[in-house]
Structure 1
Amino acid sequence: MNDFLRYQQTGHVVTLTMDQPERRNPLTGNSAVQEFVAAIERIQHDASVRAVILTGAGTVFSAGGDIRAMQAQADPRVEPLRIRQDYRDGIQRLPLALFNLEVPVIAAVNGPAIGAGLDLACMCDLRIASEQARFAESFVKLGIIPGDGGAWLLPRVIGMARAAELTFTAEIIDAQRALEWGLVSRVVPHDQLMAAAQELAARITAHPPQAMRMTKRLMREAMHTRLDTLLEMSAAFQALAHKTPEHAEAVAAFLEKRAPNFDR
């Protein structure tokens, strides 16, 4: 039984809910990373899953790192090399797992996303925010750096200048500013957040799932590869796509002027 993450599947959509609201859904000092990695591995190998919604229980999306765990790392008896390895074996597994997941992930940000909580939202493909959401890249306020990949993730979502402002000031921005900066694609009333995320997931899952997985992989690879390399990868993926039953069904449905059925 999971202590941190609730895994629920309805149809083709999995909802992952961080469920330690009394601790503000921290990502360290608990089993969060292990449970996330296990859930992502499960989703990756389950062809029935076509979209994921990630949200938090209670009033907070995630407050990021656990302060008590940070205090323990400051103990002079703890060697820096041990801390380095703890990051590699711990929180740094999360961005790698989410980056390599081929199923689209929607962050439904229900409340504050602070520090590693903001970075977790940036690890997702899409972000929808409740009016009650707040965002901060607050590591420098605590005298530390974004150890979870935030320095790579945030500039790719909102651009270098705004990422620098958010990171260097450690200030909190509200949902409307997040929308203006492109951090989220939509802001909705708090009580409509999950319905909006589910509606977006439904629009994603309406399309051929294998083509969707390959499309996400191409978009992820495009973030750090050359154009000629991506074109070669695109040609290979397209050759696979042309031979899928889903492609045949999509073309037939278009010509026959009917809705496609990708569950056959």
Structure 2
Amino acid sequence: MATPDQDLVPLLDKDGVRLTVDDALATVTLTNPAKRNAQSPAMWRALAEAGRQLPGSVRVVVLRGEGKSFSAGLDRQMFLPEGIEGEPSFVDLARSGDAELDAAIAGFQEGFTWWRRNDLVSIAAVQGHAIGAGFQLALACDLRVVADDVQFAMRETSLGLVPDLTGTHPLVSLVGYGRAVEICLTGRFVHAQEAVATGLANVAVPVTELDATAGELAAAILAAPRDAVVETKTLLRGVGDRTYDEQRAAERASQARRLRDLAGLGE
């Protein structure tokens, strides 16, 4: 079956990440299926670069992984004393100073932060394993469409680490504190039915329908006016930081902008 970006010239294609753009729709594909799209600092830098290279015309980004797994987590070479060639090992990172270590982790996180920009809607199409860093990358997106074979797991704590690639905030927001603690501390698998029931996923479909379903969702979002989508997403993202009355005021301000724009009275 053809992939969504098969016939497009990539804007970026390196370190296991390919970015293609078709007008208002961008597709970011993890392209190392032989290693189940295992993640490394080079991949994280490429993901961050993909965000920087998005043209202003892009409104929706679909994130997908080639092969049977979306992403099986960290490249296990990172756990070895010698690490990955050309990259600091975990031992090297541990020996660095506080500021240097903080900066290194902040740099890793950059590949996970741009997916929730208010001017974009991001959709993760997730099949097979989405473990650790793979789980957190799926959580970085606004929406998740999953295949019926999906297996989410947060394994960092089991390895003596913590989830540090921006996944803890969306996980708690989606499933609540108690379930998030249980998922992280046990490292167990969350399958498709539970993912949909708990809000981790928007919909589960047969794996053969995954790309098409993500494409249909993207098309439905693109059918709405861009400014209205941006205003609505901004409103919804801000709910957690506002009181009920503050949210009411934010709704009024947003609607005033939309009405004036529709009437040709916008700034």
Short-chain TM bin: 0.7 to 0.9
Among candidates 46, 49, 56, match of residue 35 of structure 1 = 46
Provide the C-alpha distance between the structure 1 equivalents of 2:190 and 2:94, rounded to a whole number of angstroms.
37
Which residue of the partner structure matches residue 75 of structure 2? 66
Provide the C-alpha distance between the structure 2 equivalents of 1:231 and 1:18, rounded to a whole number of angstroms.
40
Aligned AA for 1:199? E
Residues 60-115 of structure 1, C-alpha deviation per residue, up to 9 Å, x if partnerless? 1112222222432125973252333210122x223432233421111110221101
Which residue of the partner structure matches residue 105 of structure 1? 122
Aligned AA for 1:65? L
Aligned structure 1 segments of 4 or more residues deviating by more than 6 angstroms: none
Which residue of the partner structure matches residue 131 of structure 1? 148
> 1:144: how far off?
0.3
The unaligned stretches of length 5 or more in structure 2 are 1-11, 81-88
Residues 148-170 of structure 1, C-alpha deviation per residue, up to 9 Å, x if partnerless? 12222211111112111111100
**Aligned length in residues:** 243
Among candidates 71, 75, 78, match of residue 95 of structure 2 = 78
The unaligned stretches of length 5 or more in structure 1 are 250-264
Instruction: From the superposition, tell whether residues 185 and 19 of structure 1 become closer, same or farther in structure 2 (CA, over 3 Å).
Output: same
For the residue of structure 1 that corresponds to 2:18, the secondary structure is strand
Among candidates 32, 43, 54, match of residue 63 of structure 2 = 54
Among candidates 196, 209, 213, match of residue 230 of structure 2 = 213
For the residue of structure 1 that corresponds to 2:204, the secondary structure is strand
Check the 8 A contact 1:115/1:146 in 2, yes or no.
Answer: yes
> 1:189: how far off?
0.7
For the residue of structure 2 that corresponds to 1:74, the secondary structure is helix
> 1:232: how far off?
4.2
Provide the C-alpha distance between the structure 2 equivalents of 1:190 and 1:76, rounded to a whole number of angstroms.
38
TM-score (norm 1): 0.82
Which residue of the partner structure matches residue 26 of structure 1? 38
Which residue of the partner structure matches residue 186 of structure 1? 203
Percent of counterpart pairs with the same letter? 31
